[in-house]
Structure 1
Amino acid sequence: MLCRIAECGSFTAAAAQLGYTQSAVSRQAAALERDAGATLFERRTDGVRLTRRGLTLLRHARAILASVDAAAGDLAGEAPRTEQVRLGSVPSAGPVLLPAALVRLAATAPQVLVTTREGTTPGLVRALRSGSLDLALLTSRPPHRAPDGESPRLHLTTVQDVGLVVAAAATGGFAGRTSVHVDELVDVPWIATPASNTEPQLGVWPGLPGRPRVVHSARDWLTKLHLVARGLGVTTMPEGLLPVVPPGVLALRVEGAPPEIRRIFVARLPGAAAPAIAAVTQAITATG
């Protein structure tokens, strides 16, 4: 339960994954704090975070679970496994960077087995902190601050900086163009990823005056870009996605506004990296 709360960031989300009621998880959390004789959870308006003592207990809990798994394997007579690395990725890094890195890794370190999962930056950071991920491919906006305010800070390795562009239909009002002035984007229909308490709205050019006219809401890049191709709106995308853009989509540079740069980086817990984790990081940075 402690591990699931740390990863989900709220009692409600943890309860949904565990199949319990929110009140049952809250009671178990309170009982765990009584047994530990310490405050393990910081209850905030945007969810729950582990305190320093909670993180200490989590580290020991992860070690115990790993030992139990290893013991089960020994008792079953399993052969030594390959070195496994659990890698998380934001959606924008998945279509191009992630497959290329995994192909490179297969050639340079075939003994390393990578499992992947997709998520938002806050969710992946919580998964790193809770120990359910070893590495995460994340993005940030200038001034590229740390992805969370927890201590100790995560270890970050920059992969690449990519510019943001606007994706528009090749047969629409922007046909034949390679750029657009920011003033032309004020009244256009947008296709955007919905905002949440922890995530800003994605898909609308930052800093537009007024309230953008969002006509379609989607998280999946393929959905957004195919809606664009059919002339149903425009969206923003990092230039790194250009190799997988479907036919009928233009990539437009935005003039009259400061460039929007997104940084892709690999994050992990601080300290010396295990050889398998270092090999995955190297494959990703070499690809970028």
Structure 2
Amino acid sequence: MIDVQRLRVLRTVAEHGSFNRAAAALRLTPSAVSQQVAALERSLGAQVVARSTRGVTLTQAGQIMVGAAESVAAELEHAQKQIAELSTGRTQLTIATFTSGGRLLLPAALTQFMAAHPRTALHVREGEPEDTLPLVRQGAVDLALAYHFDGPLPFGPALSPSLEWTPLLEDALHVVLPPGHRLANHDALDLAELAADPWVLGCLKTEAYLRRYAEHAGFDPEIRGTTTDYFFARSLVAAGMGISLIPSVALTPEVPGLSAVPIKPPGPIRHIGVATIGGRARPHVRTLIRALREQAMQHNGL
């Protein structure tokens, strides 16, 4: 029989990439961590990590076992919540969200949800998808409002077979221009028309995204500022520092004088959706997802 504690150790090793860092997180010695992993390998008859001077990486068997470890952790967390609900008589629901999507969709959805389930204790945690999606896998949150840019989902099937993605809306990115900009009257723009303009960005991920699209348009963008707040980035645009690339859901509240112009197809898009544990969503989770979808439909209809 596989020892659950050894699975927990392996999952922590995979998360931190070394025995030393995993030991610090688990408050164990590196030797104890190594012994636990070695014992797991003996019980499986297979190597789960490849050791090197640069740290450790998972083998294919290790990836399978980490997936199993996450499923076990999620099931135990789910069982603990059910027991807590039995003893208190109250359902608890924990929601993770990124800032701009949460600000747009969550308040009205939560109001609608609470009208149907007034005795539910709600908890909201803010974070980026790379931080919140693991929490869904581990059962620490019930669902995550998250996003990904063009390309695959924010989690791979090999790493997260248990996660289910419910799409909500496609969040097109706009070019935000300062007052008096030469292109402010256009209905849509090609990025190549902005090759000479400096940029300020409201998300650390957006720079790589912008550079990829700019490369297709034939120029190398000049980045004059990066922030972690879209409103701050638009304020810098208003101050004359440059132009910005902003998702449509982050264009409110308005900054006076600025123009937001769509990018001609195929333009960059941010895909917003909800991540849950597939096949085991509680009725309350499904109710909240329906409320979020209604809010997304209203936004799409604007």
The alpha carbon displacement at 1:287 in A equals 0.9
Which of 113, 121, 126 aligns to 2:121? It is 113
Aligned to 2:35: 31
Q: SS state of the match for residue 285, structure 1?
A: helix
The alpha carbon displacement at 1:172 in A equals 3.9
The alpha carbon displacement at 1:104 in A equals 2.4
The 1-side partners of 2:210 and 2:9 are apart by 30
Aligned to 1:194: 204
Aligned to 1:91: 99
The 1-side partners of 2:190 and 2:161 are apart by 43
* Alignment check: 8 A CA contact 1:168 1:231 kept: no
Aligned to 2:299: none
Bigger Cα displacement from structure 2, 273-282 vs 80-89: 80-89
The 2-side partners of 1:87 and 1:204 are apart by 32
Bigger Cα displacement from structure 2, 124-133 vs 31-40: 31-40
Aligned to 2:15: 10
Bigger radius of gyration among the two: 2
Amino acid at match of 1:30: S
C-alpha change, 1:69 and 1:95, in structure 2 (3 Å) is closer
The alpha carbon displacement at 1:93 in A equals 1.0
The 1-side partners of 2:109 and 2:195 are apart by 38
The alpha carbon displacement at 1:81 in A equals 5.3
Aligned to 2:248: 239
C-alpha change, 1:135 and 1:205, in structure 2 (3 Å) is same
The 1-side partners of 2:13 and 2:179 are apart by 41
C-alpha change, 1:29 and 1:11, in structure 2 (3 Å) is farther
The 1-side partners of 2:88 and 2:197 are apart by 57
Say yes or no: does 1:278 pair with 2:301. Answer: no
Which of 30, 55, 68 aligns to 2:67? It is 55
Bigger Cα displacement from structure 2, 172-181 vs 119-128: 172-181
* Alignment check: 8 A CA contact 2:167 2:273 kept: yes
Say yes or no: does 1:165 pair with 2:165. Answer: no
Q: SS state of the match for residue 86, structure 1?
A: strand
Q: Structure 1 stretches of 5 or more lacking a match? A: none
C-alpha change, 1:205 and 1:272, in structure 2 (3 Å) is same
Say yes or no: does 1:268 pair with 2:280. Answer: no
* Alignment check: 8 A CA contact 2:129 2:154 kept: no
The 1-side partners of 2:288 and 2:20 are apart by 33
Correspondence 1:178-257 to 2 at 5 A: 178-192=187-201, 193-195=203-205, 201-202=208-209, 206=213, 207-255=216-264, 257=265
Deviations 1:15-38 (A, max 9, x none): 88x993799675554333234345
TM-score normalised to the size of structure 1? 0.75
Greater RCO (Cα-Cα under 8 Å, separation 6 or more)? 1
- Percent identity of equivalent pairs: 20
CA-atom RMSD in angstroms? 4.1
